[in-house]
A = this chain, B = another copy of it.
Amino acid sequence: MTAYYNINPKFYVAVDCIIFGFDKGKLKLLLLKRNFEPAMGCWSLMGGFVQDGESVDDAAKRVLTELTGLTNVYMEQVGAFGEVHRDPGERVISIAYYALININEYDRELVQQHNAYWAELTTLPPLIFDHLQMVEQARVLLQRKASAVPVGFTLLPKLFTLTQLQNLYEAIYGEPIDKRNFRKRIAEMDYIEKTDKIDKTGSKRGAALYQFNEKAYRKAPKFKLQSYVRRAERKSISSES
């Protein structure tokens, strides 16, 4: 029975994490400036190798925690990247994951130790290997996910203004959103609750702070922002040709 397996080769299997954060109206990625080989000095995603006795999903969680100190983070698999020479050093098959973190909560010391920095998604530095392709795929998946379920809130502080929320969706879809239509849709989602707190940092007048009520969402999980991804996808399909 073992012969069934052992006539076949084995491979290093890595995970790479596309770590999204949101700050000052911009989507950002946590990237490493590699101070180790291969590709020392270049920018890359945070990665690591799958270990014995560890599932691939768990490897991705471990790698994220190694860099940020965070656990229980929202993560989704992007897919497997298996070109023969994608890593010029050795044959490595990599499985990409994206993660959404609150940019105020990670462990700054760990990030510093790894020589990692936040880069704006719209102005990324050149990335090693196929990491840019991973990022692009992750972005499409995030757009779809964010239009179907309320994952966006994990990128925001617990209390947020509607302008922040709108800026987040604009950053995810890369295009402006009509304020009145957006707020109309938000108002239909009862689990996005207005608090009596006011944010005075963003404007003189002050803006009401809202919160996402997880339990209320589970009771009535209607989500009304599908139209934005449809618009974005129509745009990208017509520019694909």
| Contact yes or no, A50 B80, CB < 8 A | no
- State which of B55, B79, B95, B237 has its C-beta within 8 Å of the C-beta of A84: B55
| Count class of interface residues, chain A | 35 or more
Known: A80-B80, A82-B50, A84-B55. A5 touches B12 (CB 8 A): yes
| Contact yes or no, B9 A84, CB < 8 A | no
- State which of B37, B80, B148, B230 has its C-beta within 8 Å of the C-beta of A56: B80
Q: Write out the residue numbers on chain B whose beta carbons fall within 8 Å of the beta carbon of A36.
A: 4
Would you give the shortest CB distance from A93 to chain B, in whole angstroms? 6
User: From A149, which residue of chain B is reached at the shortest CB distance?
Assistant: B237
- Write out, one digit per residue, whether chain A residues 193-233 have a CB within 8 A of any chain B CB (1) or not (0): 00000000000000000000000001001000010001001
Distance in angstroms between the alpha carbons of A238 and B218 in the assembled complex: 10
| Contact yes or no, A79 B82, CB < 8 A | no
| Contact yes or no, B11 A54, CB < 8 A | no
Would you give the shortest CB distance from A12 to chain B, in whole angstroms? 6
- Write out, one digit per residue, whether chain A residues 86-100 have a CB within 8 A of any chain B CB (1) or not (0): 000111110100000
- State which of B8, B221, B240 has its C-beta within 8 Å of the C-beta of A12: B8
Query: Within residues 48 to 72 of chain A, which ones have a CB less than 8 A from any CB in chain B?
Result: 49-57, 59
- List 16 additional A-B contacts (Cβ < 8 Å) besides A8-B49, A221-B241, A226-B230: A1-B38, A1-B89, A4-B89, A5-B89, A5-B90, A10-B11, A11-B12, A13-B82, A56-B81, A56-B82, A80-B80, A80-B95, A149-B237, A218-B241, A221-B238, A221-B240
